[in-house]
Amino acid sequence: MARIDPVAGKVLEGPYPVWSGTGGKYPEAPHLYQVDGWWYLLMSEGGTERGHAVSIARARSPRGPFEPGPANPVLTHRGTNRPIQRTGHADLVQAAHTRSPKSLWR
């Protein structure tokens, strides 16, 4: 993580390591969200190989320390023969009928 000046594009602080995932290869595409006093870090792991997954962690500060979600990975096709494998990244969305990401820690 780094704090930047969005106009100048210059790094003001950092970079600081915050969470490197659950141990999967090639952690990438971190997305950081603030929801109800928690910071959630959603990250893809596994690159474009079989075993691709999406994991989540949370912290009270955007600098951590982050605790991994107990049900990680939250999205994967690992160990399946489903036709879609090795795909993309994930995002959180909130709709009227969805629960908060806090529910992943229950």
Residue-wise pLDDT for 53-101, tens only, equals 999 999 999 999 999 999 999 988 877 887 777 777 888 877 777 777 7
Q: Are strands 75-76 and 53-59 parallel, antiparallel or unpaired?
A: antiparallel
Q: What is the pLDDT of residues 26-60, one digit of tens each?
A: 888 899 999 999 999 999 998 877 778 999 999 99
Q: Letter for the amino acid at 59?
A: A
Closest by CA to 41, choosing from 60, 23, 25, is: 60
Q: Under DSSP, is residue 105 helix (H, G, I), strand (E, B) or coil?
A: helix
pTM for the model: 0.81
Residues 10-34 have pLDDT tens digits of: 999 999 999 989 988 888 889 999 9
